[in-house]
Amino acid sequence: MAATATMAMPLANRLRCKPNTNSSSPSRTLFGRRVTMISSSRWGSAVSGSAIMSAAADVAAAVRREEDEEMRSYLSPEKLEVLTQMEPWVEENVLPLLKPVEAAWQPSDLLPDPAVLGGEGFHAACAELRERAAGVPDLLLVCLVANMVTEEALPTYQSSLNRVRAVGDLTGADATAWARWIRGWSAEENRHGDVLNRYMYLSGRFDMAEVERAVHRLIRSGMAVDPPCSPYHAFVYTAFQERATAVAHGNTARLVGARGHGDAALARVCGTVAADEKRHEAAYTRIVSRLLEADPDAGVRAVARMLRRGVAMPTSPISDGRRDDLYACVVSLAEQAGTYTVSDYCSIVEHLVREWRVEELAAGLSGEGRRARDYVCELPQKIRRMKEKAHERAIKAQKKPISIPINWIFDRHVSVMLP
């Protein structure tokens, strides 16, 4: 679990200001509501402004109440029963995606192991690894740290899933299929941070004390997924995030591999982690597909809500103890390096729309559900337009990259173009 960027999408245009075309009317339509306007030669302007502000506050409060009510509906007994009824299906279709411990790879399989190589062989293998690592550019190293730090924050993610209603592991050793999936998934994810950490330690390219402090800060700061307890929204988020992680690690493997910078050890590590993430993505994608079959209206509205707000990756609270804008720097560096880009985000949305057959949803949809479906299906094109406009603005602004020191790589400087 390690993608390093987000494409924050705006909220749906639920608050619309429509001009009043009837000049003789004492009221106007504001944010979808009729507001009476009071005019007088002396106080007209002030009162009108006050009415607008009051109406805006009223509508904003109404929207918040509506959203709160909708979120409570996802925790109703009827909605949670859908998850409970899915348990036999999880047993048959999700748990098999976990690998038996004896068949799973371990970090010692991918990196030099003194128990296998002996003292001299181990030192020779480490020397070769360091030689290969020396050719990886600092830009890619910074992105690798961000991915590794996020992987190491696994306790946050496991605890988040355990808070999700109807699927959490309440005792820590529940026998339900949902609980066994969470523990098995966590055990497989745990190796990702371990193997990346070990590579970084052996490579000698990183200030490991600073990297370890970043891990400490990220776990300590936590991560809030909104909404926190809804299984519908949690599984949409995790399906997207696992796909993003697979893309980020896969891109890194390509960039540092034989056709890139020639670090075979790092390419193998990242490629192996990416393959794991694809299996995990398959599990969560299947779960969301099943929810859309069982409850299409609630399911597609959950998809739309998460995508409207933008799927922020777990890296967002990352800190080096110095810069308040470190996450923005990491996002920009990932775009520059090609490890995770806006185009990747758009491709993920398109992939999931196809996998979940969102365009085909019709039966059982409310008006809001149909609007959610249409929004989700149109989103990739909107993202592309936003990217084009952002590129045009950047050209007009003629912004220049800034050089910043990164303590993870001994304060060497990297150039970054901030938005």
* 41 in a structural domain: no
Residue with tokens 């993505």: 281
Q: According to the model, what pLDDT value does residue 399 have?
A: 81
Number of domains in the chain: 1
360 among annotated binding-site residues: no
Is the per-residue pLDDT at 33 higher than 80? no
Q: Which residues are catalytic?
A: 105, 151, 189, 192, 242, 245, 276-277, 280
Q: According to the model, what pLDDT value does residue 71 have?
A: 86
Is the per-residue pLDDT at 310 higher than 90? no
- Better-predicted residue by pLDDT, 51 or 152: 152
* 278 in a structural domain: yes
- Better-predicted residue by pLDDT, 59 or 137: 137
* 316 in a structural domain: yes
Is the per-residue pLDDT at 275 higher than 60? yes
| Cβ contact 238:156 at 8 Å | no
Reported pTM: 0.85
- Reduced 3-state DSSP string for 215-271: HHHHHHHCCCCCCCCCHHHHHHHHHHHHHHHHHHHHHHHHHHCCCCCCCHHHHHHHH
- Round to the nearest angstrom and report the end-to-end CA distance of the chain: 25
Q: According to the model, what pLDDT value does residue 264 have?
A: 95
Is the per-residue pLDDT at 48 higher than 60? yes
* 44 in a structural domain: no
* 31 in a structural domain: no
pLDDT band at 320 (very low <50, low <70, confident <90, very high): very high
189 among annotated binding-site residues: yes
Alpha-carbon distance 375 to 303, whole Å? 10
192 among annotated binding-site residues: yes
As a whole number, mean pLDDT of residues 396-414 equals 93
Tell the burial category of 334 from Cβ atoms under 10 Å away from its Cβ (0-12, 13-18, 19+).
Answer: buried
CATH of the domain at 115: 1.10.620.20
Residue-wise pLDDT for 232-245, tens only, equals 999 999 999 999 99
* 14 in a structural domain: no
Q: According to the model, what pLDDT value does residue 51 have?
A: 73
As a whole number, mean pLDDT of residues 323-348 equals 95
pLDDT band at 31 (very low <50, low <70, confident <90, very high): very low
Q: What's the chain's average pLDDT?
A: 88
Residue-wise pLDDT for 66-107, tens only, equals 677 888 899 999 999 999 999 999 999 999 999 999 999 999
Supply angle C-alpha 353, 383, 66, rounded to 5: 70
Is the per-residue pLDDT at 47 higher than 80? no
**Number of H-type helices and E-type strands within the chain:** 15, 4
As a whole number, mean pLDDT of residues 41-54 equals 61
Residue-wise pLDDT for 195-228, tens only, equals 999 999 999 999 999 999 999 999 999 888 778 7
- Better-predicted residue by pLDDT, 266 or 393: 266
378 among annotated binding-site residues: no
* 143 in a structural domain: yes
* 262 in a structural domain: yes
Range of the structural domain that residue 304 is part of: 75-416
